[in-house]
Amino acid sequence: MLRGLVLALLLGVLSVPFTLNATLRLLLGDPQAAMYPLEAPWGLTGEHIALVASTSAVALVVGLLGAVWAHWRPGSARTLLGATGTLLQTVPPVAFLALMVPFLGFGTVPVFWALVAFGILPIFHGALSAFDSVSVEVQDAASGLGFSRWEKLIKVDFPLALPGIRSGLRTSVMINIGTATVGATMGAGGLGRPILAGISEFNYSYLLQGALTAGVLALLADWVLALHKKPVGTAIPFTLTSLST
pLDDT at position 200 over 80: yes
Structure pTM? 0.83
Q: How far is it, in rounded angstroms, from Cα 98 to Cα 101? A: 5
The string of pLDDT tens digits covering residues 203-219 is 999 999 999 999 999 99
Mind listing the pLDDT tens digit for each residue in 91-124? 777 787 888 888 888 888 888 988 998 888 889 9
User: For the chain, how many helices (H) and strands (E)?
Assistant: 12, 0
Record: fold of 2-241: MetI-like fold (1.10.3720)
* Structural domain spans, the chain: 2-241
Task: For residue 146, name the pLDDT band (cuts at 50, 70, 90).
Answer: confident
Q: Per-residue DSSP letters for 52-112?
A: HHHHHHHHHHHHHHHHHHHHHSTTHHHHHHHHHHHHHHHS-HHHHHHHHHHHH-SSHHHHH
